[in-house]
Structure 1
Amino acid sequence: MAGTESPVPTIAELEEQESRLEFTHFDNLDAWNLGVRLVGLATERALPVAIDIRRHGQQLFHAALPGTTPENDAWIERKIRVVDRFAAASLLVRLRLAESGQALDAGLGVDPAQYAAHGGCVPLRIRGVGVVGTVTVSGLPQVQDHALVVEALEGALAAATGTHRPEE
């Protein structure tokens, strides 16, 4: 995964992901299990990532794997602000802004030093409730950060419903 170019998903593909990646509930133990799943994926691939999971602003899980620095945590904070403000994945916000010719700056009422519309932060959604938190990865190229989060969410949702993905 690291060092390879990943194709950028389309807005429609990202919107489909968001509609499909919904939990029926999400508690502290779910955050722990999702975090452990992400750490497992990252360590088996030797990926230098920091991982953060929050619900209603409370950090429920954080890990900084070998090769990360405090800069990754700063990126995590900036990506989370984007998801919290726009209630959409940071990569989806980036693509929507690019499509509309807008920039994430004072014109939208934000300080670019505090917000980063870069892939890697995905909203945690509960069906019938909406966005309740975030799952964020920092350390890879943004499309790969996003893809790692989506892979872990898909695995967590499959485990929660007892279904298995075809490649398992």
Structure 2
Amino acid sequence: MNSIDPEITARLELMQQEEQELVWDTFNSETALQLGLHLTQEADHRSQAVTIEITLRGHRLFLHAMEGTHPDNENWIRRKNNVVNYFGSSSWHTALRLRSENKTLEKDFDLSESDYVLAGGAFPLILKGEGQVGTITISGLPDEEDHDLVTSGIRSFLEH
């Protein structure tokens, strides 16, 4: 019988918990601006260069590419967002879950790697009482670092 690594299981449970905790009462373009600036400051404080995008109901409300990023980061963001919108969980959560189940986007879901990518950094924008209404995405770091920056940034923003 194939057993899943207990570390992966614990990480998947933690990510599921994040998606239940990091929920918004309200969200609008002003919130997106303030959150985007907050995430930019977080990255700057860590000396990390990232591209940040926030969408609400298919409308891009915030996009910022920090000095040292690459235009290709926007393509990574698009592909990560597609994963969040398709699976309804963070892109890193989905990536780890599918890897632990030995599944791929192309073979198991008929999703093209030109439009979808199993990489960290995209997080669902979840409104209380509504569910997912958008995405909050970071690109430019290794998978887990993109994920950790977006989730810790959302958490610290929500706590203020």
**1:24 equivalent in alignment to 2:25:** yes
1:10 counterpart SS class: helix
Aligned to 1:51: 52
Which whole-Å CA distance do the structure 2 matches of 1:129 and 1:46 have between them? 35
**1:130 equivalent in alignment to 2:131:** yes
Aligned to 1:37: 38
Which whole-Å CA distance do the structure 2 matches of 1:110 and 1:83 have between them? 13
Deviation for aligned residue 1:109: 2.2
Deviation for aligned residue 1:128: 1.2
Deviates more, 1:145-154 or 1:7-16: 7-16
Deviations 1:96-120 (A, max 9, x none): 1112211011530211111011110
2:41 counterpart SS class: helix
Aligned to 1:112: 113
Deviations 1:71-107 (A, max 9, x none): 1111011100000111100001111111221101153
Aligned to 1:157: 158
Deviation for aligned residue 1:46: 2.1
1:93 counterpart SS class: helix
Which whole-Å CA distance do the structure 2 matches of 1:10 and 1:72 have between them? 25
One-letter amino acid of the counterpart of residue 118, structure 1? A
Aligned to 1:93: 94
Deviates more, 1:42-51 or 1:79-88: 42-51
Aligned to 1:4: none
One-letter amino acid of the counterpart of residue 127, structure 1? K
One-letter amino acid of the counterpart of residue 134, structure 2? G
- Specify every segment of 5 or more residues in structure 1 that has no aligned partner in the other structure, as ranges: 1-6, 160-168
**Percent of residue pairs identical:** 34
Aligned to 1:3: none
Aligned to 1:74: 75
Kindly report structure 1 stretches of 4+ aligned residues shifted beyond 4 Å: none
For the aligned residue pairs, the C-alpha RMSD in angstroms reads 1.4
**1:145 equivalent in alignment to 2:141:** no
Which whole-Å CA distance do the structure 2 matches of 1:133 and 1:117 have between them? 18
Deviations 1:14-40 (A, max 9, x none): 001100000111111111110000111
Using the size of structure 2 for normalisation, the TM-score is 0.91
Deviates more, 1:39-48 or 1:119-128: 39-48
Using the size of structure 1 for normalisation, the TM-score is 0.87
Deviation for aligned residue 1:11: 0.5
